[in-house]
Each structure stands twice: as C-alpha cells, then as structure tokens.
C-alpha cells in the first residue's frame, strides 16, 4: 500500500492507497518541528482504527512546501516503512513540462495539482488552489504547466485584518447572506468572502482573456468548498487533485501501474 503525504503551510494530508482506491485520509496541522517518531505514533494509531498497521505500507511519496519538514517525513518513511520515499523536487520525474522562466521555483503542490488535473480534465485548464495562498495555475491542453498567479489566502487575509487592526476581532469564515454588512463582524465576513469571490472572478476573466482560448476552471484546496454555489467562474470542485497527481507521479517513477 502507498502512503501519500501532501504537506502545505497550514495542514498536512496523509492518504493511503490500497492499489485500487484511496482507503483512508487524515489531516494534521503542519508543524516543522514534528519528529519522525511523533508522526509514526500518530499515524499508527489512526491506521489501527481502520484495522491497518504501519508495516503494511510499502511505498511512500512526499510533496511538501515546507523544506524544514522534509527531513522528518523522509525519516518516517525510512525508519517505519523501511522504504526510501519519492520526494517531489528531489530528482523525481514528473513527466510534464514547465514552460516558465525558472522551473525550479515552481511549488511542488502546484506541479502535482497540474498533473492531477490534466489526468481527468481535457483541454486548457485553470486550477485554483485555495489554501494558505490562493494560486491560479494554467495547464495547457498538452499537460504543460504554464505559470499563473499567487495571491494571499483567505485565512491569511483574515489573520492580517485581526492582527493589524486593534479594533477588528478574529472571526470565522462563512458565506454572508448579504454583501452590505450591518455590524463589524458581518462587514469583515462580507469583505473577505465576497472580496475573494471577486478576486476569483476577476483573475479568471483576465487569465482567459490573455490565454485567448476556452479554459475549464477547477477549484481545489482546503477552503475551496466555501465558494461552491457562490460563483459561476469555477466549473468543477475537485478535492482530490493533489493525491491523484501524487499517485500518478508514483506510478510514473516506479513503473508499477497496479500500485
């Protein structure tokens, strides 16, 4: 069985594939100082709840945008799975072209998403990943990564409002019924939520105009589901883009199509 680890700045996803399907997924807060032993204890307990054991995992692939965490994740695989993991960005063959100025600067998560999207959706694509940052990635019909846009994430914007303005409270993200708020909290919720809808709609329109050809827009990421029903600019919401891309990269590098 394959253990796929997708680590963002805020959360880390652990997913198990049994050769046919994803049978388990768990998220934990990203902590760069968490050791391989701590990961192993946490993961072993969750596996046991599914009737599984860590020793049943015989493959591991890691995608991380937190360089200081990769050492401990790599040691988790080596020490407890007894396998050398594939690490995105570490001499792993992605099987895709990055048509950008500095391919080495492209985030692992963005490239993995591009592969996961191209596997399922035909034609030219915009992949919007809503996480700590909100990224808009352009994927050509031939699967090439063409670059895109990086904007602050919605949670980051909320945090900045609270920390930079003494009178503004910390609030939860939710979709307001109205754009015009009647108190401080509803004003903030409207500004953040509808402001991000406007950001999405505006950037999608500009990217499409610049690209000059029809494009399908895919939404993914930790808070993408918030925008379902709020905008017609996103054609599909797909929470599994990243792990789908990781599985495909694993197969391309191990040549084991049944893993």
Query: pLDDT category, 164, cuts 50, 70, 90?
Result: confident
What mean pLDDT comes out for the span 193-219? 97
| pLDDT of 214 | 97
Pairwise CA distance, residues 109 & 245, whole Å = 9
Check whether residue 75 and residue 171 sit in a common domain. Answer: no
Domains held by the chain: number: 2
Ramachandran class of 12: left when φ > 0, alpha when ψ lies in -120 to 50, beta otherwise = beta
Pairwise CA distance, residues 14 & 219, whole Å = 20
Query: How much is the mean pLDDT over the chain?
Result: 91
What mean pLDDT comes out for the span 15-33? 94
Please report, for residues 59, 91, 93, the alpha-carbon distance to residue 220 in angstroms, rounded to integers and kept in the order given: 25, 26, 24
Which CATH number does the domain housing residue 11 bear? 3.30.420.40
106 DSSP assignment: S
Does pTM top 0.75 for this prediction? yes
| pLDDT of 159 | 80
| pLDDT of 101 | 94
Please report which residue ranges of 50-131 form alpha helices under DSSP H.
Answer: 67-76, 108-120
pLDDT at 256 over 60: no
Query: What is the three-class DSSP state of 162?
Result: helix
Residue 27 lies in a domain: yes
Domain of 67, in residue numbers = 2-87
Check whether residue 107 and residue 72 sit in a common domain. Answer: no
Q: Give the pLDDT confidence of 136-157 residue by residue, as tens digits.
A: 999 999 999 999 999 988 888 7
What is the number of residues in the chain? Answer: 259
Active site residue 109: yes
pLDDT at 219 over 70: yes
pLDDT at 163 over 90: no
| pLDDT of 258 | 47
Marked catalytic residue, from 21, 37, 58, 109: 109
Last residue of a domain, one of 40, 59, 87: 87
| pLDDT of 259 | 46
Residue 253 lies in a domain: no
Between 224 and 54, the higher pLDDT residue: 54
Check whether residue 235 and residue 111 sit in a common domain. Answer: yes
Cα angle 232-171-227, degrees, rounded to a multiple of 5: 10
Residue 235 lies in a domain: yes
| pLDDT of 244 | 94
Between 107 and 216, the higher pLDDT residue: 216
pLDDT at 172 over 90: no
Please report, for residues 19, 199, 244, 248, 250, the alpha-carbon distance to residue 258 in angstroms, rounded to integers and kept in the order given: 6, 41, 14, 11, 11
Q: Give the pLDDT confidence of 65-87 residue by residue, as tens digits.
A: 899 999 999 999 999 999 999 99
Residue appearing with tokens 């505006």 = 202
| pLDDT of 255 | 67
């Amino acid at each position: 069985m394959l253990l796929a680890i997708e680590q963002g700045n805020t959360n880390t996803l652990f997913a198990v594939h049994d050769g046919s399907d994803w049978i388990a997924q768990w998220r934990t807060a990203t902590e760069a100082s968490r050791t391989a032993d701590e990961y192993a204890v946490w993961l072993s307990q969750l596996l046991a709840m599914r009737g599984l054991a860590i020793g049943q995992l015989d493959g591991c692939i890691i995608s991380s945008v937190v360089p200081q965490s990769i050492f401990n994740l790599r040691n988790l695989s080596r020490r407890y799975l007894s396998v050398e993991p594939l690490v995105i960005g570490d001499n792993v063959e992605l099987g895709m072209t990055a048509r950008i100025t500095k391919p080495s600067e492209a985030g692992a998560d963005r490239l993995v998403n591009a592969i996961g999207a191209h596997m399922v959706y035909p034609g030219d694509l915009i992949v919007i990943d809503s996480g700590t940052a909100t990224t808009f990635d352009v994927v050509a019909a031939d699967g090439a990564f063409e670059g895109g846009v990086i904007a602050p994430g919605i949670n980051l914007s909320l945090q900045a409002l609270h920390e930079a303005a003494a009178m503004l409270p910390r609030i939860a993200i939710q979709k307001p019924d109205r754009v015009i708020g009647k108190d401080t909290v509803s004003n903030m919720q409207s500004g953040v939520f509808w402001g991000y809808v406007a950001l999405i709609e505006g950037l999608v329109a500009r990217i499409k105009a610049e690209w000059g050809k029809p494009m399908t827009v895919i939404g993914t990421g930790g808070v993408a589901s918030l925008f379902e029903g709020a905008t017609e600019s996103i054609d599909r919401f797909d929470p599994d883009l990243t792990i789908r891309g990781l599985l495909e990269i694993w197969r391309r590098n191990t040549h084991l199509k049944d893993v």
